[in-house]
């Protein structure tokens, strides 16, 4: 099913800005950033592309030599979408894992302009150990996490709703501020909710976007 978005979508402004492989190269912290993270293959690039209504935007992050880097996209109005490298590559050599942890953990814990995190999980395999580790790492920042349970189209309606309930219940037991939704890049299910919630987290009170219905 193809739904027409009733929400003005500021993510359509997204333009690739810079690739960073060392914290010293981060752009100066201006305005607000929202960072996307998830296990490799969870559907993070597809979710970013769907949000931005752009077929290949996040595939910048998949070009050889950039998969372990942090990629910044400029949304205009001093706001940035940040694509963090995927995790969960079980057979990655120790030095790659260590580099990932140093780069991403430091970014998440120290970046003052980071407003919120979006954690992308395959709705069929939510809350794997490294997802939980990520939530545990991030919770001391006190910043909110929005969870996209993506590939929801691969589950029946009742199974998808069951997963949503279970994940919300589990997150309720963990420290931190969480919101959770179903999402599909294939059917665009949950797109309006994802746009409103993530832009709301990125924007100071008063500049939230309005649903036009
Ligand atoms: P990433 O490694 O997390 O960036 O994952 P990708 O966005 O590259 O997606 C991994 C695979 O899952 C690709 O084959 C996508 O086509 C597929 N995929 C991603 N999102 C969805 C979705 O919402 N529904 C379905 N059916 N497939 C998806």
Torsion on CA atoms 112, 114, 116, 119, rounded to nearest 10: -120
**CB 89 less than 6 A from any atom of ligand 1:** no
C-beta of residue 189 within 8 angstroms of C-beta of residue 154: no
Tell me the C-alpha distance between 143 and 195, whole Å.
Answer: 18
Tell me the C-alpha distance between 211 and 213, whole Å.
Answer: 6
C-beta of residue 155 within 8 angstroms of C-beta of residue 165: no
**CB 44 less than 6 A from any atom of ligand 1:** yes
- 111 C-alpha to center of ligand 1: Å? 28
Tell me the C-alpha distance between 31 and 131, whole Å.
Answer: 27
Read off the pLDDT of residues 118-167 as tens digits, 9 standing for 90 and up. 999 999 999 999 999 999 999 999 999 999 999 999 999 999 999 999 99
Position 142 scores a pLDDT of: 95
Contacts for 22 with CB less than 8 Å, ≥ 6 apart: 103
- Report the nearest-CA residue for atom 21 of ligand 1: 151
Which of the pair, 64 or 138, is modelled with greater confidence?
138
Read off the pLDDT of residues 70-84 as tens digits, 9 standing for 90 and up. 999 999 989 999 999
For the cut 80, the answer to whether the pLDDT of residue 213 exceeds it is no
CB burial of residue 172 (10 Å; 0-12, 13-18, 19+): exposed
**CB 42 less than 6 A from any atom of ligand 1:** yes
CA distances from 97 to 28, 68, 107 (A): 26, 10, 15
- Report the nearest-CA residue for atom 20 of ligand 1: 43
Nearest to 123 by CA among 82, 62, 177, 166: 166
C-beta of residue 121 within 8 angstroms of C-beta of residue 39: yes
Tell me the C-alpha distance between 206 and 84, whole Å.
Answer: 28
Contacts for 139 with CB less than 8 Å, ≥ 6 apart: 174, 175, 176
Q: What is the pTM of this model?
A: 0.92
Q: What are the extents of the domains in the chain?
A: 10-202
Segment among 92-96, 104-108, 118-122 with least mean pLDDT: 92-96
Position 212 scores a pLDDT of: 41
For the cut 80, the answer to whether the pLDDT of residue 204 exceeds it is no
**CB 40 less than 6 A from any atom of ligand 1:** yes
| 92-110 mean pLDDT | 84
Position 101 scores a pLDDT of: 82
Taking each continuous run of H as one helix and of E as one strand, the counts in the chain are 6, 7
Domain 10-202 sits in which CATH superfamily? P-loop containing nucleotide triphosphate hydrolases (3.40.50.300)
Nearest to 33 by CA among 208, 203, 153: 203
CA distances from 89 to 92, 103, 165 (A): 5, 16, 28
C-beta of residue 107 within 8 angstroms of C-beta of residue 37: no
């Amino acid at each position: 099913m193809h739904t027409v978005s009733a929400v003005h979508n500021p993510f359509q402004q997204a333009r690739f800005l810079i690739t960073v492989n060392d914290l010293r190269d981060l752009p100066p912290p201006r305005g607000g950033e929202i960072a996307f993270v998830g296990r490799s293959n969870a559907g993070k690039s597809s979710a970013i592309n769907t949000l931005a209504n752009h077929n290949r935007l996040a595939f910048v992050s998949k070009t050889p030599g950039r998969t372990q880097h942090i990629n910044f996209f400029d949304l205009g109005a001093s706001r940035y979408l940040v694509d963090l490298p995927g995790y969960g590559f079980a057979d990655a050599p120790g030095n790659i894992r260590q580099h990932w942890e140093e780069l991403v953990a430091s970014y998440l814990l120290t970046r003052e302009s980071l407003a919120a995190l979006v954690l992308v999980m395959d709705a069929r395999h939510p809350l794997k150990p490294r997802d939980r580790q990520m939530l545990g790492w991030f919770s001391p920042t006190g910043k909110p996490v929005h969870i996209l349970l993506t590939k929801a189209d691969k589950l029946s309606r009742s199974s998808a709703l069951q997963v949503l309930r279970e994940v919300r219940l589990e997150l309720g037991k963990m420290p931190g501020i969480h919101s959770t939704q179903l999402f599909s890049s294939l059917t665009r299910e949950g797109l309006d909710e994802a746009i409103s919630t993530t832009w709301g987290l990125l924007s100071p009170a008063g500049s939230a976007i309005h649903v036009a219905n």
